[in-house]
A and B are shown apart, each in its own frame.
Chain A
Amino acid sequence: MTGPLVEVEDLVVTSGHGQRIIDRVSLTLDRRSRTGLIGESGSGKSITALSILGLLPDGLVAEGRIAFAGKELTGLSERQMCAVRGNDISMIFQEPMTALNPVMRVGRQVAEALRRHQGLDRSAATGRVLELFTAVGIPQPERRVRSYPHQLSGGQRQRVMIAMALACGPDLVIADEPTTALDVTIQAQVLDVLTAQVADLHTSLLLITHDLPVVARTTERVLVMHDGRILETGPTTEVFATPSHSYTRTLVDAVPPLSRTAQVEVVRRERRASSEPAIVVDEVTRVFPLPRSTLTGSRDHVVALDAVSLTVETGETFGIVGESGSGKSTLARLMIDLDTPTSGTIAYPGFERANHARPGPQNGTVGQDARNTRASTLGSWVRRSVQMVFQDPMGSLDPRLTVLDIIAEPLRSLGIEGDHPARVRELLDAVDLPPESARRYPHEFSGGQRQRIAIARALAPHPSILIADEPVSALDMSVQTRTLALLADLKERFGLTMVFISHDLSVVHEICDRVAVLQDGRLVELGGVDDVFVAPGSPYTRRLIEAIPRLDGS
């Protein structure tokens, strides 16, 4: 058969309120092609894919023409669409944990699709599942087919999703942010498996993502979407090298230098740090007990941090990188006294401490003494002078409070006197939000704006140390750039010391002066960004840097 695989013509998707979410989108996908669909959140990229599958969320209405392999999909009944989905077109979702049925063995879930769509009998299906699991690189496939989703790692779950998507030999696989939830080394492996498998099976791939380097690494052609329209389309390398639309150029410019090319630039950032320490982490170990497996059995433990020692200097931006489970968030929680180390100490030379008391009151009575205006104990000093910005700007703001109340909360809590509304206006101005924002609720803001509110809240009690735990990971690329610039600017303006925690090496490379690399709770590398990124001392750091997808496809 010849002709394009998918033809979408003048697709318009309208919401119940008559708002156009997709505005006359036309696109064609060739057979055996790998196409990227990029855009930021709200650009309509996922909705476009769901329209092709006929899976639009409730309340959305699509018009236009969608043809698949010369067959009109428009106007097919739900039953007819069901035959197309899974068999001819399949989909890989971002979060495999929710896309897989948690109470069904993964092998059976894949076999189910084979038996329904391909009419295979039980033993043939089981055999095919084993082949698929081997093909997508799941270790010990014979054992893994009998596992439940929660027993697999994130990368393995996504491999199962890929196996499931490829099970019936579809003509098209649509992957919606398939690696966004994965660590960088796992992301690289999963992308390689996906690319190899679609090539083997002569399947076309439509990869939807906000991540330009991922598209560069995986696809031949790219479509750029913005506000429900396709702005630019062309060969991936060409579009990224010489973007013709200004919006594409903004996206390309937002890619941090480390994600552009394997040639790591030396930043030669002048050291702004004084040699005065701000936080001294000394041999800190944090062990978490696991629930007992039996009533009388011994308790297992997880070592989240293993004898980590480091010093954050006053005025610097100190990066902490690591993959999930490396202990970086545990370290953040310890630094802000939300948790106490099992052994070791964390000291804040900024507070003239009288004795070697551990920071903060113990046994869960956190905050009892923080109501004193005067910082009389180390604990209350920490509560006032060390503030945190969280990853998820949706979860870190109470949806039932106005922005005014949210930002004024720390002031009230810490008993800081003064004109709170005026202080809130000042802070909103500092993070470039209009003063009217104070009366509104978090859900009325975009992700980037919400993160600005969270930053304003953190700055409210005039802290000297700001701990940012993945502050830009949940944001779109261009918003990321702006938020990073804002953080850097505020740090200068208020003379802050910043601890910047991230899984994203490119971002750390861009903003930090020094960086610590954590692996499985251990500190594997510590040094200036230039030293660490240009000439990594540990093999693990080198692996991390090599796994970063680059805009030039290398």
Chain B
Amino acid sequence: MSTPVPIELNRRRRRWKRTNLVVGATIVGAVVLTALVSFVWTPYDPSVISPTEALLDAGTPGHLLGTDQFGRDVLSRIMVGARSALFVGVLAVAIAIAIGIPLGGLAAARRGWVEDLVMRISDVVYAFPAVLTAILLVAAFKPGTTPAMVAIGIAYVPIVARVTRGAALTVFQLDFVTAARSYGRSTSFTFRRHVLPNILSVLIVQATVLFALAILAEAALSFLGIGTQPPVPSWGRSLRDAQTLISIAPGLAIWPGLAIALTVLGFNLMGDGLRDALDPRLEVRRA
């Protein structure tokens, strides 16, 4: 006689992680789609002022999410705001990666004083809060999305450099890297050809998380008035404008706040899910 003995340990956890990935990717996809659609269509022109229609409630016919104190359509402004959010994410992450990966790779490959120098400089940069760095840079140049995001990007360089170094150190220990050195490959070639492809999954996950952080940072900077400048719609900016009206028109703060929260959640879930989807150690071991 035989009784089946099903033994499950981590299956539930893995299924949960897959849900994360799907939900996260769906939210991110929706944000990207909204931003794209906003180029060709929004319910109203987001910057047209119409004093007669100021502060309409959500659900008013024609204005699904209502209007702000200038009578601008909130839905339209949120749709266009998605563009700024994604733009800042792409810009900041691109800067962080473009500088952080080579630095981290250099530290892992060279070790010794080069590594010490790179990592200690990283520590110093990392010690400054990202938003503070941004304020400094904006004060030195001019307020606006691009300088703010360059600052955020630079502030994230140490994070990328550390992650790259940590992951690359492991791969540099492996014999195929030693083999490449033994037949004469240069260190930088070895890093690009052998190390980078093998740590890409870690970096993709890190980039996703930084993307979410950059969106938050942009919102914070715009809230402080030194990020995206009017009349370009931005979620953080909308929050700032809604501040004084919070008691009479709470919806003006709720909708952009929700957009920020949802987008950040989407990227975080996606990053979390990707971490597992891309981690070969969590794959079912082949028999």
A interface residue numbers (CB < 8 A to B): 10, 12, 15-17, 19, 21, 42, 54-65, 74-75, 336-338, 364, 366-368, 370-371, 380, 383-384, 387-388, 390-392, 395-400, 409-410, 413-414, 454, 457, 461
Contacts and interface: CB of A to CB of B under 8 A. Distances in A.
B3 A63 contact: yes
Interface stretch (B23-31, B171-179, B252-260): B171-179
B198 A399 contact: yes
21 contacts: A12-B2, A42-B287, A54-B5, A54-B7, A56-B7, A58-B9, A59-B284, A60-B7, A62-B4, A74-B3, A336-B182, A338-B181, A370-B184, A384-B183, A384-B184, A398-B198, A400-B194, A400-B197, A414-B183, A414-B184, A457-B179
B40 interface: no
B287 A21 contact: yes
B180 A413 contact: yes
Interface of B: 1-11, 14, 110, 174-176, 178-187, 193-194, 197-198, 284-285, 287
Contacts of A337: 182
A336 B179 CA distance: 10
Given A57-B285, A396-B174, 6 more contacts: A59-B285, A62-B4, A366-B184, A367-B187, A390-B179, A409-B180
B5 A74 contact: yes
Contacts of A398: 176, 193-194, 197-198
Contacts of B183: 370, 383-384, 387, 409-410, 413-414, 461
B3 A396 contact: no
A54 B183 CA distance: 48
Contacts of B180: 409, 413
Say whether chain A's binding surface is mostly helix, strand, loop, or mixed.
loop
A59 B187 CA distance: 41
A75 B179 contact: no
B185 A413 contact: yes
A221 B187 CA distance: 53
Nearest to B13: A58
B196 to A, nearest CB: 9
Which 10 pairs show the lowest CB-CB distances between chains A and B? A370-B184, A396-B175, A410-B183, A367-B184, A390-B175, A383-B184, A400-B197, A395-B175, A59-B284, A398-B176
Nearest to B194: A398
Contact of B184 (A12, A16, A371, A399): A371
A380 B175 contact: no
Given A59-B284, A396-B175, A398-B176, A367 B186 contact: yes
Contacts of A58: 8-11, 14, 284
A396 B179 contact: yes
Nearest to B5: A62
A200 to B, nearest CB: 33
A390 B8 CA distance: 37
Contacts of B10: 58
Contacts of B2: 10, 12, 63-65
Contacts of B181: 338, 366-367
A395 B3 contact: no
Contacts of A63: 2-5
A61 B287 contact: no
Contacts of A62: 4-5, 7
Nearest to B112: A364
Nearest to B196: A400
B176 A397 contact: yes
A433 B182 CA distance: 24
Contacts of A413: 180, 183-185
A15 B287 contact: yes
Instruction: Identify which of A74, A384, A461 gathers the most chain B CB atoms within 10 Å of its CB.
Output: A74
B184 A388 contact: no
B7 A61 contact: yes
B270 to A, nearest CB: 23
Nearest to B190: A367
B186 A368 contact: yes
A62 B287 CA distance: 14
A364 B175 contact: no
